[in-house]
A and B are shown apart, each in its own frame.
Chain A
Amino acid sequence: MTVLHWATIAPFLLAILIPFFYKYARRIHTGWFVLILPLVLFIYFLSYIPVTSSGDTIMNSVPWVPSLGIYFDVYVDGLSLLFALLITGIGTLVVLYSIYYLSKKNERLNNFYVYLLMFMGAMLGVVLSDNLIVLYVFWEVTSISSSLLISYWFHREKSTNGAQKSMFITVFGGLSMLGGFSLLYVMTDTFSIREIIANVDLVTTSSLFLPAMILILLGAFTKSAQFPFHIWLPDAMEAPTPVSAYLHSATMVKAGIYLVARLTPVFGGSAEWFWIISLVGITTLVWGAISAVRQKDLKSILAFSTVSQLGLIMTLLGLGSASLYFDVGAEDTLYTTAILAAVFHLINHATFKGSLFMTAGIIDHETGTRDIRKLGGLMTIMPITFTISLIGLASMAGLPPFNGFLSKEMFFEGTVNATQFGIFNMETWGMLFPVLAWVASVLTFVYCAIMFFKTFTGKFKPENYDVHVHEAPFGMLISPIVLGSLVVIFGLFPNLLAYSLIEPAMASILPNLLEPGQQFDVGISHWHGVNTALLMTIGVIVVGIVIYLMMKKWSKLPFYLKERDPLNRLYDNGVSGLISGSQAVTRAQMTGSLRDYFVYMCGFSILLLGYTMYRYDAFAIDTASTSSISPFMWIVALVFIGATISIAFVNHRITAVIVIGIIGFLLALLFVIFRAPDLALTQLLVETVTVVLFMLVFYHLPDLQRRTAKLRFNILNLIISLGVGSLFTAIAVSSFALGQDANFESISEFFIENSKELAGGYNMVNVILVDFRGLDTLLEVLVLGIAALGVVTLIKLRFTGREDV
């Protein structure tokens, strides 16, 4: 275990201690104890920047289940470091914010911080693991802890529903991802991502390439709320706002992005990967933007905007993966711009979306509502919140001089570049990307404008609020101020990040493009100068303003008035259909009647055995080795058959007992004929005792009166029993015949030779019972003993239904 391992699991260890802090240090807000850890981890991870920016990676391994190839490997390169810094950095700010957001008196803080730390540790594990199985384990822990956090206020129905929905969808994706990982293992015989990348030829040439890719992408898409799996994210907004800010903007929803970026060297460069990711991404981008415009709740707008922005990053990763196809080298920026934009926007989105969620939380906390129809005129009352929101929204809308502008410019540039690809049918469909990207950006501008103007401008109406509206306490404002400042700093000095974080991250996504020792050179300085992207941005701003000004007209559209995503209906009906469907199947099949289950069993046996016999052509009749039949045998057999059949028609209990006795004694007679004296004796005795038992019990039972069962009932029974009987006969006859053909030596010769020699007895049956196979007899005695005890217990012990028995 190295320091890096301890850093990964440190949040789990601290989570164990949280309940003690909560219980024994009640006067201090539990969050203060938590705050130290992400801060320390953040500083610790900062110390790795020199390592990764010089192109090195760090790998530490601890065996977990070595026999299955599962090692707890932590691997630090540019991409995982970028994510680790996001997780710990924003984690620190979110914990700080939550200290002021959640009240010490009214909330169960121990639960909150235990879940949050679980989540933080799991997320660090996801991004630092090199082993796919370990990654999967941490991945599922993020699903679980995220559901726990969403249902933090578990007495609210909406919270538990949202948690359940997110659990269903993300665990569905997680499980298919596990399937994809297993296929990768089948192809490459290793779970290590680095080794898979090193042996990527095994994957690309395998027939399992496509199934593995689709299964893994299902996991990534569900986690990152891509269309059509995005529906859980808006419902997850029932969580406390720090959770929304942390999980649903900065970290967890980027786990899918991380996975796609991480596996780009494995799957990238193929047409399927390119098209699936780009199209899903661009659909999500447009759909998220359209839906966000319709929302009336601040957090819902932010949720759909997150969906939309994640789609944007996903599109860029898809477009950028084409550069692996060309194998052009690091200097050709035409192909690598998309990846650069993806990484840059990933950072930018985490900063501005985190701050926006926090300001939305502040507005909710200080006014008691998040409804934009009630809010308004908060500019002068909450000046700091207003400033931070303005910065965040302007950045999200893509306005200069904030960082969102830079990443949006690069996004446009990437999509325009993509139209020039001469591969994957991009000649025909390539124009799709810039056009859709532009439309989505216009819509993004519009919902940013709605959020801003509806919340902060207009007239302040005190009657809309239940509480006295005022600016938030300073402690609550620290985190959004920090994030807002980062938005400005990254906007003004983008190259601060370019060399330290973005280039190493790009190097991990596109490792094959680099010569040893070479690095991407991405000076984000050429953002002045008139090019297509700039013209597109100007178009976005102009058209966006026009649409916002015309809002009065189009806001009457029925599509705008509805808030819920229409895909939710599909999900709701699917879930309720699944429940009612399975209930219907169970009701139809589990009738509770013993007879029905017998019918299933017999019917299934007939079908299975009959089909097997038919399939392997196993029916046979052997006449050669059978012995001859004497007339006496015929008489016995006919009486036997007559007695047996007649018992089915007997209606009186005394007759039934007599007939069952006749059958038993005839069986004893058969044993006599076939030279089995011990059997005949036992059968006679047992049959006598059985008859006596029947007599004893029947005395206490009602008569076997014939019930007027339906004719259909009896006919079905008859058919089934005839089927069972004839199949039984056929199988017995065939196996006897085939057994004779096979001509195996019986072991009976052994008993004949050795009963006297070894056991000193003349009666072979008895010698077998007590000597050669004595264990059978011992246990058979046990069975008799248990049966006797059972009979006694059944008769003696009476439960009267009292509590004390």
Chain B
Amino acid sequence: METLIIVLAGVLVTVATYLILSRNLIRVILGTAILSHAAHLLLMTMGGLKIGSAPLLGEEAATYTDALPQALILTAIVISFAVTAIFLVIAYRAYQEVGTDNLSDMRGFEDE
């Protein structure tokens, strides 16, 4: 199971890298969003996927899944959401100002 999920994360990383390497600003942002998914999946997997009960003590189960990676991922999700949001707004503003979303056209000013 773990190997399958890791391969899943690997596919996410491959596609994310491919998108980040493109010249289109929107694709780069899509890539970063997907890359954060891969990171979350990896965190989840490395904690071990042995099926236990959800980490709620009220269940009174024999085994629970590990709670710590879940807490870490929760933090990471919120942060990556914040970053994605600000990326999107930057892309929007950049397009408004310079009129292109092609990274190879964004070459700075002449006098720099």
Contacts and interface: CB of A to CB of B under 8 A. Distances in A.
Nearest to B67: A764
Interface stretch (A227-235, A252-260, A697-705): A697-705
A768 B64 CA distance: 15
A475 interface: no
Interface residues of B, number: 83
A496 B69 CA distance: 89
Contacts of A663: 34, 37
Interface in A721-761: 721-722, 724-726, 728-729, 732-733, 735-736, 739, 746-748, 751-752, 755-756, 761
B70 A595 contact: no
Given A679-B77, A683-B77, A795 B93 contact: yes
A795 B88 CA distance: 11
Contacts of A732: 6, 9-10, 42, 45-46
Interface in B5-27: 5-24, 26-27
A62 to B, nearest CB: 51
A667 B78 CA distance: 15
A701 B68 CA distance: 40
Interface string B98-110: 0001111001100
A670 B57 CA distance: 22
Interface string A657-696: 0001001100100110011111100110010011001100
B19 A647 contact: yes
B34 A598 contact: no
Interface string B48-73: 11111111111000001111101101
Nearest to B19: A648
A650 to B, nearest CB: 9
A693 B82 CA distance: 11
B71 A765 contact: yes
Contact of A724 (B6, B13, B55): B13
Given A667-B41, A674-B49, A697-B88, A783 B79 contact: yes
Given A644-B12, A648-B18, A686-B77, A701 B1 contact: no
Given A675-B53, A686-B77, A728-B10, A748 B67 contact: yes
Contacts of A679: 44, 70, 73-74, 77
A660 B30 contact: yes
B13 A725 contact: yes
B101 A720 contact: no
A784 B86 CA distance: 10
Contacts of B81: 686, 689-690
A693 B86 CA distance: 10
Contacts of A621: 3
A439 B92 CA distance: 80
A736 B75 contact: no
Contacts of A768: 67-68, 71
Contacts of B101: 701-702
Interface residues of A, number: 92
Contacts of B20: 598
A717 B24 CA distance: 13
B92 A700 contact: yes
Task: Give chain B's interface secondary structure class.
Answer: helix
Contact of A762 (B21, B56, B73): B56
Contacts of A653: 26
A635 to B, nearest CB: 12
For B6, B21, B65, the residue with the greatest tally of chain A CB atoms inside 10 Å of its CB is B21
Contacts of B75: 769, 776-777, 780
Contacts of A593: 103-104
Contacts of B45: 732, 736
Contacts of A664: 37
A100 B46 CA distance: 84
Contacts of A275: none
Contact of B85 (A640, A776, A791): A791
B64 A748 contact: yes
B105 to A, nearest CB: 10
A790 interface: yes
Given A748-B64, A787-B82, A629 B4 contact: yes
A39 to B, nearest CB: 56
Contacts of A690: 33, 81, 84-85
Task: Give chain A's interface secondary structure class.
Answer: helix
Contact of A633 (B1, B15, B64): B1
B30 A656 contact: yes
B47 to A, nearest CB: 8
A707 B84 contact: no
A790 B91 contact: no
Given A637-B4, A679-B77, A769-B71, A763 B84 contact: no
Given A686-B77, A700-B92, A724-B13, A667 B55 contact: no
A641 interface: yes
B64 A764 contact: yes
A656 B49 CA distance: 30
Nearest to B54: A675
B32 to A, nearest CB: 11
A769 B78 contact: no
Contacts of B104: 593, 595
Contacts of B9: 728-729, 732
B6 A628 contact: no
B70 A765 contact: yes
Given A640-B8, A748-B66, A764-B57, A700 B95 contact: yes
Contact of A784 (B49, B74, B82): B82
Nearest to B106: A594
Given A660-B30, A776-B75, A599 B21 contact: yes
B10 A729 contact: yes
Contacts of B96: 700
A790 B56 contact: no
B9 to A, nearest CB: 7
For B15, B34, B45, B55, the residue with the greatest tally of chain A CB atoms inside 10 Å of its CB is B55
A102 interface: no
A593 B13 CA distance: 22
Interface of B: 1-24, 26-28, 30, 33-34, 37-38, 40-42, 44-58, 64-68, 70-71, 73-75, 77-79, 81-86, 88-93, 95-96, 101-104, 107-108
Interface of A: 592-595, 598-599, 602, 621, 623, 626-629, 633, 637, 640-641, 644-645, 647-648, 653, 656, 660, 663-664, 667, 670-671, 674-679, 682-683, 686, 689-690, 693-694, 697-698, 700-702, 704, 707, 709, 717-718, 720-722, 724-726, 728-729, 732-733, 735-736, 739, 746-748, 751-752, 755-756, 761-765, 768-769, 773, 776-777, 780, 783-784, 786-788, 790-791, 794-795
13 contacts: A598-B20, A598-B21, A627-B1, A640-B8, A648-B15, A677-B56, A679-B73, A701-B101, A729-B6, A729-B13, A739-B46, A763-B56, A768-B67
Given A686-B77, A763-B56, 13 more contacts: A637-B4, A670-B44, A679-B44, A694-B88, A701-B26, A701-B101, A709-B23, A724-B14, A728-B10, A733-B3, A752-B64, A791-B89, A794-B89
Counting from the closest, the 3 A-B pairs by CB-CB distance are A725-B14, A729-B10, A787-B82
